[in-house]
Amino acid sequence: MRILYLDLDSLRPDHLGCYGYHRNTSPNIDEIAKEGVRFTNYYCTDAPCLPSRSALMSGKFGIHSGVVGHGGTAADMRREGPARDFHDRLAEESLPGALRQLGFKTATISTFAERHSAWTFNAGFNEVFNIGAKGHERAEQVLPVALKWLEDNGSSDNWFLHLNFWDPHTPYRTPEEFGNPFENDPMPEWLTEEVFNQHKKKDGQHSINDMNALAESHYFKWPRHAKPIKVHNDLRFIIDNYDSAIRYMDNYVGQVLHKLEELGVMEDTAILISADHGENLGELGIYSEHGTADEGTCHIPMIIRWPNGLKNKINDGLHYHIDLAPTIMSLLGAQKMESWDGESFHDSIINGTSAGREYLVLSQCAHVCQRSVRFKDWLYIRTYHDGYHGFPKEMLFDLKEDPYERNNLAEERPEICREAIYSLNEWHDEMMHTMDFDVDPLWTVMKEGGPFHAKEYNK
């Protein structure tokens, strides 16, 4: 069995053609979607980058692993302490560690561990390839390493390759010569002039005003960020540059897929396409950032093309990204690790019968401190530290009618808020009862002065 996991940073599902986007951003990804199962309600448990990938590879919620932020104590994975054996449990109980026990060669091509000093991310990998740009590399720099690895290993059996492209992550650094494939395409309809005028009044991290300040202080080094956003049509620079980054990256994804075909192993290789988190492009007045526990940040794509799995199917069930590890193990006929918090959705891929979870709890403690409950058509967000955005304690959005979170219904629908709070409390009780520590890392972040990026913004 061969497994290619394409980890595409900051990728929103609703900016991919296979998820219904009106722009042609992802022709190669779309082709894979036709051959597999596309999950429409797939979320990272903990956002953004460091908490998300730590959860994915460890198989644990951030509240269990301890990693919920980008700095301070809550950016380090909890150690086992006196109970630690000669090797720690992560060596075998990470996703790649579990696959190694099944005889897989495991490799990661990613600069993530160095970018966030997240060395535990590398646990379980036979090979770690770091090209040294700490997440600022473009796909053209990653591709040669990926092609060489596939040339050396692709024809072998039983390998797992984690391949990480960063291009949709701000700052958008697609080469200028790539141009703008979308200059004649309309912007998303919801970003009206009225919305723009509302957002111009907002302050906070990655508001329009902050983006303009960043363009002068930091982002001027990248030409696609150099122009300030002054009038409504200027929003096009943000949307077009994000979409151009996806299209640019998709071209290199296509070259990786072509290499599998060239090697004659394409049909027998499982291809998984996902992201660590999404990207707010106007939701809550935030642009080009992934700083909340909302739909824009936490909703991510998942496409699974498994050799004997369903083709061109859609699964609408609620799933966490930590459900992936037990799913892969189940598909391989193995048991999940006892320490993993995820649940297998094996049946969704093989026979389409899995319905998903009743609700999800999503966390963000790097830019704000929030926990959210995603259930039915609702997203309930509870804010503990607003990151200097001015968010109220409670926000409630009907995602079916209001997918871009414009109308906070918390005061109008208190009964829905109470339902969400009950689920949040039930989840929290279960988490605290099933851990060896008595400290919720969200409160560690609070006691250490608040979210890391909020402290940076407030200097």
Distance CA(69)–CA(47), nearest Å, equals 8
The predicted pLDDT at position 399 comes to 98
**Cβ pair 310, 431 in contact under 8 A:** no
Residue 263 CB neighbour total at 10 angstroms = 15
Dihedral-angle region of residue 125 (phi above 0 means left; psi in -120 to 50 means alpha; beta otherwise): beta
The predicted pLDDT at position 458 comes to 77
Distance CA(274)–CA(95), nearest Å, equals 15
Residue 328 CB neighbour total at 10 angstroms = 26
Looking only at Cα atoms, what is the longest distance across the chain? Answer: 62
The predicted pLDDT at position 438 comes to 87
Per-residue pLDDT reduced to its tens digit, 295-348: 999 999 999 999 999 999 999 999 999 999 999 999 999 999 999 999 999 999
- 362 strand-pairing partners: 372
Q: Pick from 7, 269, 24: which is nearest to 139 by CA?
A: 7
Torsion of CA 343, 354, 300, 123, to 10 degrees: 30
Q: Which two tokens stand for residue 65?
A: 């692993």
**DSSP structure class, residue 356:** B
Residue with tokens 């004649």: 184
Torsion of CA 300, 306, 310, 315, to 10 degrees: -20
pTM, to two decimals = 0.97
Peptide bond into 48 cis (omega under 30): yes
**Cβ pair 394, 380 in contact under 8 A:** yes
What are the start-end ranges of the E strands in 233-377? 269-274, 280-281, 287-289, 299-305, 313-320, 359-364, 369-375
**DSSP structure class, residue 61:** -
The predicted pLDDT at position 457 comes to 81
Is the sign of the CA dihedral 230, 235, 237, 241 positive or negative?
A: positive
Distance CA(360)–CA(299), nearest Å, equals 11
Q: Which two tokens stand for residue 448?
A: 């250490």
Q: Which two tokens stand for residue 334?
A: 């193995």
91-126 burial, b if ≥16 CB within 10 A, otherwise e? eebbbbbbbbeeebbbbbbbbbbbbbebebbbbbbe
Helix (H) or strand (E) holding 43: strand 37-43
Angle between helices 193-200 and 208-217 (to 10 degrees): 70
The predicted pLDDT at position 215 comes to 86
Distance CA(342)–CA(319), nearest Å, equals 9
Residue with tokens 């979870």: 357
**DSSP structure class, residue 234:** G
The predicted pLDDT at position 355 comes to 79
Q: Pick from 413, 351, 350, 412: which is nearest to 376 by CA?
A: 413
**Cβ pair 300, 276 in contact under 8 A:** yes
Helix (H, G, I), strand (E, B) or coil at 410: coil
Mean pLDDT of the chain: 96
The predicted pLDDT at position 252 comes to 98
Q: Which two tokens stand for residue 3?
A: 């497994």
**Cβ pair 275, 300 in contact under 8 A:** yes
Assign 3-state DSSP to the chain and report helix, strand, coil percentages, each to 5: 40, 20, 40
Dihedral-angle region of residue 277 (phi above 0 means left; psi in -120 to 50 means alpha; beta otherwise): beta
The predicted pLDDT at position 218 comes to 83
- Domains identified in the chain and CATH numbers: 2-356 (3.40.720.10)
Helix (H, G, I), strand (E, B) or coil at 359: strand
**Residue-by-residue pLDDT tens, the chain, 459 positions:** 999 999 999 999 999 999 999 999 999 999 999 999 999 999 999 999 999 999 999 999 999 999 999 999 999 999 988 989 999 999 999 999 999 999 999 999 999 999 999 999 999 999 999 999 999 999 999 999 999 999 999 999 999 999 999 999 999 999 999 999 999 999 999 999 999 999 999 999 999 999 999 888 888 888 998 889 999 999 999 999 999 999 999 999 999 999 999 999 999 999 999 999 999 999 999 999 999 999 999 999 999 999 999 999 999 999 999 999 999 999 999 999 999 999 999 999 999 987 799 999 999 999 999 999 999 999 999 999 999 999 999 999 999 999 999 999 999 999 999 999 999 999 999 999 999 888 999 999 999 999 999 998 876
Amino acid at 170: T
Residue with tokens 């608040």: 450
